[in-house]
Amino acid sequence: MGRVTTRVPRTRVDVARDALVVRPDTVAVEEPLEVRVGEQPVTTTMRTPGDDFDLALGHLLTEGMVGSAHDVATMMHCTDVGPDGSPTFNVVEAALSPGVALLRPARERTESMTSACGVCGAASLDAVRTASRFDVGADPVTLDATVLAGLPDALRERQPVFERTGGVHAAALATPDGTLLAVREDVGRHNAVDKVVGALSRERELPFAGTVLVVSARASFEIVQKAAVVGVPAVVAVGAPTSLAVELAADAGITLLAFTREHRFSVYARPDRVTGTA
């Protein structure tokens, strides 16, 4: 799987049996990726290498910096090299299409992004609340409860890197009937969302009306925000929600499900879209 995974030494300690087992283990790769528009850096994030162009394009879309995949003319890996002189492929440079300018500047941050955060270090909460161009609350989509409950299992079946390492998140965009349109994995939950948005944006224009964003992680603020910015009316999370995620989902009109596992879930915003319940 190339640079997506790597082998490292491991010593397993079994205290109950007073035993040590030494053998290699497969882990997910985590490396920095800098995204530039022209020669201007817009973000640096820790990610799993692979689908870097999807990640860069998805980030520009979910941050509201461009409005369409067509706004980006080309993307390329810069010829950056590591200490050993080998290319790292850790810088992606995007060139905007003729006549296109960024809709908004890169968000001001006070620290570098890690694989654990999407909006950490933002200068203020107001800067974090990127306004969506779409009226997500008016989306007329209806969602069957049985289909929603099965989405995490469908996502889990398409997580080969997680199967090998147990160390990555996944995100998918799905139709109301449960068809997964695109799936991506990454050590960062927000990166997985950016990758899947970037992938689907090559096939259809924003907004992604009538779709469902499925994430293997918790329902955090940045996940719901990304859904709102690209016009996704529903978010299904395997983990717990945060207070800001619930607040933003209610404000934006996004149907928010969390603790979606074992064919059960809890709805925290816009339950009126969910059908097939008692």
Query: Tens digits of per-residue pLDDT, 190-219?
Result: 999 999 999 999 999 999 999 999 999 999
The answer on whether 262 is annotated among ligand-binding residues is yes
- Contact 41/51 with Cβ under 8 angstroms? no
Confidence of residue 91 (pLDDT cuts 50, 70, 90): very high
pLDDT at 124: 41
Distance CA 88, CA 32 (A): 10
Q: Per-residue confidence at 125, pLDDT binned at 50, 70, 90?
A: very low
With cut-offs at 50, 70 and 90, classify the pLDDT of residue 248: very high
Q: What is the DSSP letter of 262?
A: T
The answer to the question of whether 111 is labelled as a binding residue is: no
- Region 51-71: mean pLDDT is 97
Query: pLDDT band at residue 3, thresholds of 50, 70 and 90?
Result: confident
Domain pair 31-128 / 136-275, same fold? no
Higher-confidence residue of 223 and 115: namely 223
Tens of pLDDT, residue by residue over 27-46, are 999 999 999 999 899 999 99
Q: Count the neighbouring beta carbons within 10 Å of the beta carbon of residue 188.
A: 25
Catalytic, 117? Answer yes
More confident residue, 183 or 2: 183
Region 3-11: mean pLDDT is 93
Which amino acid appears at position 185 of this protein? E
Domain residue ranges of the chain, discontinuous segments joined by +: 31-128, 136-275
Q: What proportion of the chain, given as a percentage, has pLDDT over 90?
A: 79
Tokens describing residue 21: 């087992």
The model's pTM: 0.90
Tokens encoding 115: 């694989």
Residues 6+ apart with CB under 8 A from 251: none
For domain 136-275, give the CATH superfamily: Cytidine Deaminase, domain 2 (3.40.140.10)
- Per-residue b/e over 263-277, b at no fewer than 16 CB within 10 Å? eebebbbbeebbeee
Closest residue by Cα to residue 170 from 182, 261, 59 = 182
Question: Which run of H or of E encompasses 226?
Answer: helix 221-229
259 annotated ligand-binding residue: yes
Q: Is the pLDDT of residue 119 over 60?
A: no
Annotated binding residue 260: yes
Reduced to 3 states (helix: H, G, I; strand: E, B; else coil), residue 152 is: helix
* Separation of alpha carbons 106 and 143, rounded Å: 34
Length of the chain (residues): 278
Q: Which one of 117, 151, 168, 171 is the catalytic residue?
A: 117
Asked whether the predicted pLDDT for residue 1 surpasses 80, the reply is no
Q: Please compute the mean of the pLDDT values over residues 51-57 and round it to a whole number.
A: 97
Contacts of 238 (CB under 8 A, 6+ apart): 152, 215, 216, 217, 218, 259, 260, 261
Residue 264 is assigned to a ligand binding site: yes
The gap between the terminal CA atoms of the chain, to the nearest Å, is 45
The CATH code for residues 31-128 is 3.10.20.10
> In this model, does residue 121 exceed pLDDT 80?
no
